[in-house]
Structure 1
């Protein structure tokens, strides 16, 4: 199925000029004729939208510049071409500066001149319409994204609430092959240790430093196996020293996250206070 021809409106109060436009342009464009500004605005409502409006400058009532400005206000994607038999530079400059006129063509025109002007105007009209559609599509996508981000933020807040009041303290440590760094520690770390979680993040070795030597050795042995890729999961029990000086018995469940080659990238885990068990 062939593409529809670009639709253009030709406005001239002289019938001979209007029909000459139709003869020159009719083979490449779907032409609608109007004899004055009022008829052009009526055609705009009943037969529009038009990609291009070609209007004579000197017409009874509304001149071509004012008509094209009014059409631009009603249908911003429409591109205007102004025709004039007056060889007046001021007319052309005023028309172009008004912003509603894409091209100024002097009468009498040649078939090549008018066809080229309208073809370029139609291409520009298509570009403007596509740009507007893309902006509208982008606005819709951004609105949907904002809505999803709001939903995600609400879900994250709910998750943080659950984590904060969970008996287990979730954590993750990133491993670059040489150094293990805390990347996440749950807010409820304070309840378990008496220390803010930022302390464990910024002070290397803070967590093992809360253990006695024997427990630290068992903890480190399991961690080394996970980092070496020798196992994926392990559980160890040990005691840590709370900030108030009291011991807290902890069960530590660790899991290694590996890449496709079996190299450990991260250790995820959970600390659970089991002091009440004893």
Structure 2
């Protein structure tokens, strides 16, 4: 800690630098956006995998196998270089012709490529997390609720999801924290996250170590805040760990009152 090469005064100088702050917000926004998209796609894939129809389950399993099995960095580079394979996005209608044609590079910006690649990669993990959570719910409760006349949508909303959440939240929180750190890969395709912002500065000033310490500091701060939020959510949804039967009976009681 006393090594002069650490250059602590320079660390303090850049800790709240506008360029670093802008990059930090890009990192946070990208994490939130990717996690939201990955959760939606993961939920769809999980429900498809649990379907008895092979027309739904097999494509979903292939989707999860591919995007979970290939490295995030490889996917980032592939999407960023999509224009090599597809020059233009065009809409062509027989008898009318081309309605519009847009160069791929105009659509597949670095930020779009990063969002798409990380969302697809993360959705593979979220699909398995959500599927595991849904499968953890006691089948006896869902069967009992169905016998009482609950529609599948209401059954899922009132019985399955509340109980599955306590199994979904912990791994989802870990995945979100891991995703935050994974976003540092987007610097390779020139997305202005916190790491890329630091690299842009030390490329001019050659103050590499102090800038990397700044980046490390902000990652630790954000991860610490996220860990606190994760702990709160785990406690909130974990309150029914020993009260599944009571929660189930309350849901049935409310349903019967509405009837």
TM category (shorter chain) comes to under 0.3
TM-score by length of 1: 0.23
Structure with a larger share of its residues in helix: 2
Structure with a larger share of its residues in strand: 1
Q: Which has the higher contact order (CA 8 A, sep 6+)?
A: 2
